[in-house]
Amino acid sequence: MSDDKDKKELRVRRIENGTVIDHITSGQALNVLKILGIPSSSHSVVSVLLNSQGKYGNKDVVKIENRELKVREVDRIALIAPNATINIIRNYNVSQKKKVHIPEFVGGIVKCINPNCISNSNEPITSKFNVSVDGENLKLRCAYCGRIISEDIGKHLL
Ligand SMILES: Nc1ncnc2c1ncn2[C@@H]1O[C@H](COP(=O)(O)OP(=O)(O)OP(=O)(O)O)[C@@H](O)[C@H]1O
Ligand SMILES: [Mg+2]
Ligand SMILES: [Zn+2]
């Protein structure tokens, strides 16, 4: 490893226990924090690395001390950062690594962007989308009105 690479890797200090969310689509780290309720409902120490140079272009990284993520949180992260990996850190080492899982359907997680969609009416209807992969990004198709969300999914999370 070159000295240069060493310096880059030392930018953020190692954590003893917690979670590293790696390979986050560049620009999505703040949406990841929002999904995790940071800082408002979490007191964990968090480091955020924006625009870090990864093997496949730029990425963001979020490191959270002393916290493991809930399935529901990981499912939401998958929608805005489909290439993310969740690394569980125990005693300074990666003890578990998982890729986020991209679901075929999402229910009750995203709000349809069509104001006239029945899922946005007063009816007790849970939003539902069909998920497809479009290159680097995901495409969500509303099961009720057919409207497609392909940009800024993070902005439409319920
Ligand atoms: N103790 C630690 N504290 C903080 N970050 C850590 C710690 N251990 C590993 N990491 C970070 O967690 C991520 C995954 O670590 P790992 O050693 O598996 O790297 P990797 O082999 O490059 O993984 P990948 O192939 O998923 O990119 C990296 O971003 C690494 O910098
Ligand atoms: Mg790596
Ligand atoms: Zn709709």
Q: What is the pLDDT of residues 79-88, one digit of tens each?
A: 999 999 999 9
Beta bridge partners of 21: 62, 86
CATH of the domain at 67: 3.30.70.140
Length of the chain: 158
Q: How confident is the model at residue 1 (pLDDT cuts 50, 70, 90)?
A: very low
> Which of 65, 87, 90 has most ligand 1 atoms within 8 Å of its beta carbon, as the pocket-test mutant?
87
Mind listing the pLDDT tens digit for each residue in 89-99?
A: 999 999 999 99
User: Which of 53, 81, 99 is the last residue before a domain boundary?
Assistant: 99
pLDDT of residue 120: 96
Tell me, in angstroms, the distance from the centre of ligand 1 to residue 126's CA.
37
When pLDDT is averaged across residues 105-134 and rounded to a whole number, the result is 95
Q: Are the C-beta atoms of residues 129 and 140 closer than 8 Å to each other?
A: yes
Please compute the mean of the pLDDT values over residues 10-24 and round it to a whole number.
Answer: 87
Around ion ligand 3, residues with a beta carbon closer than 5 Å are 112, 114, 117, 142, 144-145, 147
Q: By alpha-carbon position, which residue is closest to atom 21 of ligand 1?
A: 94
| For residue 153, pLDDT beyond 50 | yes
Give yes or no for a contact between 47 and 60, defined as CB atoms under 8 angstroms apart.
no
CA distances 70 to 20, 25, 43, 117, 143, Å, are 14, 20, 16, 30, 26
Q: CATH number for the domain including 146? A: 2.30.30.20
Q: Which of 72, 99, 126 is the last residue of a domain?
A: 99
Is residue 54's pLDDT more than 50?
Answer: yes
Co-location of 59 and 136 in the same domain:
no
φ/ψ of 69, rounded to 5, equals -90, 150
